[in-house]
Amino acid sequence: MIASLLIMAVSTVALVYWFRYTCVLILETRTAKDYSAEVAAAHRLSFSGVRDLIEAPQLDFASVRRSLERDLSIVRALMSRAGKVELGAVPFEELLLRLDFELMKRASALARPFSEAKARAALLEMAQIVEYFANAAGERMAEAARA
């Protein structure tokens, strides 16, 4: 019984570690051309300015979180319109990052009363996820324009 619980605990920790490490690797990956700034400018998205806001002494966490959620919904709509993904099949990386965005949203809210630095780090990761999706949307739109 104890051995089973220990194996489950170790497996859970390993899964969480794998998930976090994979998300960080995906976010650190750079493409040949970065479309995120173009997409942000064209659609008036605010994720690119979050890095500056994060360092501000007075940060309205709820407002930043709402703007990142809005940005993500716009970028996901752009991605769906741009096409390329067959019959609703979503790349595994995008599924992981969608889940990570939701987890970071909750982590930011939970961490804020205890550690403002952790809450800011979660918001920054949310901005990086939106930037990743904006770049992916830009790539898809560029491919669609070439086709």
pLDDT of residue 65: 93
Q: What's the distance, CA 76 to chain centroid? A: 11
pLDDT tens digits for the chain (147 residues)? 899 999 999 999 999 999 999 999 999 998 889 999 999 999 999 998 887 888 888 888 889 999 999 999 999 999 888 765 554 567 899 999 999 999 999 999 999 999 999 999 999 999 999 999 999 999 988 887 776
Task: Go through 102-117 and write b for each residue having 16 or more CB atoms within 10 A of its CB, e for each that does not.
Answer: ebbbebbeebbeeeee
Structural domain containing residue 36: 2-146
SS3 assignment for the chain: CHHHHHHHHHHHHHHHHHHHHHHHHHHHCCCCCCCHHHHHHHCCCCHHHHHHHHCCCCCCHHHHHHHHHHHHHHHHHHHHHHCCCHHHCCCHHHHHHHHHHHHHHHHHHHHCCCCHHHHHHHHHHHHHHHHHHHHHHHHHHHHHHHC
> What is the pLDDT, as a whole number, of residue 24?
95
Number of domains in the chain: 1
